[in-house]
Chains A and B, each alone.
Chain A
Amino acid sequence: MSEMVNIMVDGQKLKVPEGELLLPVLLKNGISVPHFCYHDALGPDGNCRMCMVEIEGQKRPQVSCDTFIKKDMVVNTKNENINDVKRKILELELLSHPVDCPICDQAGECSLQDYYMEFGLNEARRPKEEKKLKNKKLDIGRNIILDQERCVLCARCTRFTQEITHTNELAIIGRGNDARVSTMPGQQMHTPYAMNIIDLCPVGALTSKDFRFKQRVWFMHSSKSICHGCAKGCNIYLDHNQEKYKSDTIFRFRPRLNHQVNGHFICDEGRLTYNQENAERVNEFYHHNRIITEENALSYLLRWLNDLKPLLIVSPSLSLEELYVIQILAKRFELDINAYSEGYIDLDFEDDWLRSKDRSANLEGVKKLGIKMSKDELIASLKETTCIINFNHKSFIGADLDIQALLAHKQEAHFLSHLFENYKHKELILPISSYSEHEGSLINEEGILQRYEAGLHNDKKSLLELLHAAISTPDTASQVWEEGLSEVLGIEYEEIPPEGKQL
């Protein structure tokens, strides 16, 4: 651990670690320093020359991404001198930029825009006819569109493919102002983490084909959520917006920094699971394909619970709170629970970074709560009952003929967030909210307990609320924890830190 020393920044005293790079420390202390090429995940490259600061005793302005902190250093980031330097360099960055913000998806979260508004505001000194034209709208594969004219050549994307994924699809070709980011001729991006370069790109040069032209970023709200694509539990921002006369809809997932779990990145497949989250929601209660009211549905449910001794089948992607409430239910009616989840295993998906073969989000949680999950136990329980209640498990039957045969003449009730094809015509279907709509907590495959926020505001009851209406179990996450989940896990709900807790 390096020694803490005092430095002065813009007349303000800071206690900072000696020998560390100046730029990240300034940013961490809330001092805005413009930068393009520096990124926490990639380190400095020193090519953009935007992060200039004045250091007393130095003849010239220095780039703060290549300056190390020394004791009693006096740094100026905002005086007229240094602002002028930054303005001039920004002018150069914008020299051949097409300034097509009105049709650019990055607008609103673009560093170029922000810096121009902060200290640029200069008139163009070069006529626009002399701008260097480059290629626009290049499809470089994996949902990524490259616009070479908007690029500031900070090399974050090329460094990502070189230093992080080691796939080397991108390089800067050409010299001088002819330099541009490009793939090899005839080649495309192929890493399953490719879309991270869209987030890395500080400007509108790399945009997502999936998100393009769908939503202006300033209309969207971001909620802190967790990707349910696999057991890794990558932290994400869930960007959503409720347009007039439409339901609240997710437009994209973005990675959310968590050094303990996923760092700065997420995989493309996880990023695109928002499509599944938006699609094919169950909105009504059904009894034999007939729409019924909630009261009727719950009375059917209660009759089943009382008379038929159903087997409860739970999805390994349910939150800890939902699982715990189902356990309360099982205890009260003396029912069996099973979370057989072979159908969630996808060996092709696994890699040694952020993709896990277990495509459920909370299998560790299921284990922690002691819920049965073996096939033998499932078959034994099925033999003893004439009825099952499924809690959002999308594929417990799968191709398994044994289980299919056992299910042949059983009654089925399904609590579903999404309409899974094979459950469409079952006896009883009850819609519940999905993870994007209610808060909750999960344990990932490494045993890290994490919380996620409610994101979308759609008029849909959660499983907790439905069961509360039926059998008066606790109806909010914090109440579930008070009811006993805290005791099981040995931690209070409010105590779970933002970056999660290793259990």
Chain B
Amino acid sequence: MITKIVSKNFETENSHTLEVAKQNGAYRSIDEAFTKPSYLIETEISNSGLRGKGGGGAPAGAKWCLATRAREMDNITTSSYLVVNADESEPGTFKDRQILEFDPHLLLEGMILTCYAIGANEAYIYIRGEYKFFAERLNEAIAEAYADGILGNKVKGFDYRVDITVHRGAGAYICGEKSALLESLEGNRGHPRLKPHKPSPEYYFGKPTLVNNVETIATVPFIVNNGAAAYRAYGTEKSPGTLLFGMSGHINNPGIYEMAFGESMQDFIDKIGGGIKNGKKLKAVIPGGASTPVLSAQEVKEARLDYESMKATGSALGTGGMIIMDEDTCMVSALKNLLSFYHHESCGQCTPCREGTAWVDGIIANMLNQKAKKDDIDLLSDISKTMNGKTICVFAPAVAMVIDGFILRFRSEFEAYIEKSLGEAHV
């Protein structure tokens, strides 16, 4: 089941150093790619069907096209920007840090190729503030690359400049949203921007900018080296390739495992994860980071790990970071845990999210403190309806989907809490 593309060097000793990385073939793709026209890389990426691995799963090629087309349309002669989103803050997701820790040169190689493809000379890595160790490791790798002439005014002797800067965030989940990330990078408050009305790239200081996840960019060297077909050999028709799937929670072997899309979730949990801790039964799985609707054990049996199947199951693949919950888990407490997170992380820009996240968090807290009211479940559904689809970014809709997912699948547990509260009140 394991397919190693991005994670191929993770187990090599000292894989983060340039010396070892070079032995593993790092930066070799540049030699050939830079002798050919830049659009070939973009074509290859489009053909490979590579999908953004930050959670949304949007086709990467289309996004690259937007960034390059916008330059032509707006008649911008200066270069555009590449921004790598390393603000990995989704609860349950810990894949990008593996790349940053064990193979930073893979990311840098991918960035150089991408810069060349979209016509960017400057690239930024926006890394979450808490990733201090990883930011330092990345900076070491960048320093090594500069010293070796891989980065700088002449990339490996070619007449093309690429400069990479690491920028540490200040600890806001919302800065993982690409437009908020760019606002933050520009020095503003990390508030998501209003969405454009037609397909358009992001803009950093008014210039077209490509924002991609760490893992997406780290996949680029493989595709450039081996061609689109080699990548398409893995995974399904619509979700080609691999993803770094993660497992955490009540599981025997938590960790990050790279797999092709389309595998069975149950097999992944049983065979690679080694089953549920202490021999207990599975109760629920949050499939791809906290913001995807929870799945019941029954649904897990059917679920296949690709974007389309997960959507059909009533959830989303997201980042592939699964949170496994055993039979003893209290789902109301689990929801409270998530809602506290969202309450704390809502940026507070739009009303439905700012007030809504706090309100639902309060309602669940009341429930746990046996102060629930009779209509609380309906109230939760009603608030989540107001939060869904009425905000600037997808934060509030994600929260709404999380709430709806929990209530839909585990309603009886919520009702039990309410009954308990009402019982107390009668006494």
Contacts and interface: CB of A to CB of B under 8 A. Distances in A.
B350 A177 contact: no
Interface in B368-427: 379, 382, 385-386, 389-392
B351 A93 contact: yes
A434 B189 CA distance: 49
B30 to A, nearest CB: 41
A261 interface: no
A49 B390 contact: yes
B36 interface: no
A93 B355 contact: yes
Contact of A175 (B347, B350, B356, B359): B347
Interface in B34-63: none
Contacts of B362: 126, 130
Interface string A93-126: 1011000000000000000000000000000011
B345 interface: yes
B390 A85 contact: yes
A95 to B, nearest CB: 5
Given A96-B355, A153-B354, A175-B344, A47 B390 contact: no
Contact of B379 (A44, A52, A125, A178): A125
Interface stretch (A60-68, A133-141, A300-308): A60-68
A176 interface: yes
A126 to B, nearest CB: 6
B163 to A, nearest CB: 30
A192 interface: no
Contacts of B312: none
Contacts of B386: 85, 88-89, 92
A50 interface: yes
B358 interface: yes
A172 interface: yes
A92 B351 contact: yes
B346 A89 contact: no
A176 B351 contact: no
B239 interface: no
Nearest to A87: B386
Interface in B337-371: 343-359, 362
B172 A132 contact: no
A44 B346 CA distance: 21
Contacts of B356: 92
B351 A89 contact: yes
B189 A171 contact: yes
Interface in B147-192: 172, 189
A179 interface: yes
A85 B391 CA distance: 12
Contacts of A52: 390
Nearest to A48: B351
Nearest to A65: B194
Interface string B315-352: 00000000000000000000000000001111111111
A47 B355 contact: no
Nearest to A36: B351
Contacts of A176: 343-348, 353-354, 357-358
Contacts of B382: 88
A343 interface: no
A172 B189 contact: yes
A68 B198 CA distance: 12
A178 B347 CA distance: 9
Given A60-B390, A132-B358, A177-B357, A92 B348 contact: no
Interface string A167-181: 000011011111100
Nearest to A68: B197
A221 B346 CA distance: 43
Nearest to A152: B351
Nearest to A90: B351
Given A92-B386, A93-B355, A46 B347 contact: no
Ranked nearest first, the 10 interchain pairs of A and B with the lowest CB-CB distance are: A179-B348, A177-B358, A176-B346, A92-B355, A88-B386, A60-B389, A46-B194, A95-B355, A176-B348, A47-B349
Interface of B: 172, 189, 194, 197, 343-359, 362, 379, 382, 385-386, 389-392
Given A49-B352, A88-B385, 9 more contacts: A49-B350, A49-B351, A85-B386, A88-B382, A152-B351, A171-B189, A175-B345, A176-B343, A178-B348
15 contacts: A46-B194, A49-B351, A49-B391, A52-B390, A66-B194, A85-B390, A88-B382, A88-B386, A89-B352, A92-B351, A92-B356, A96-B355, A153-B354, A175-B348, A176-B346
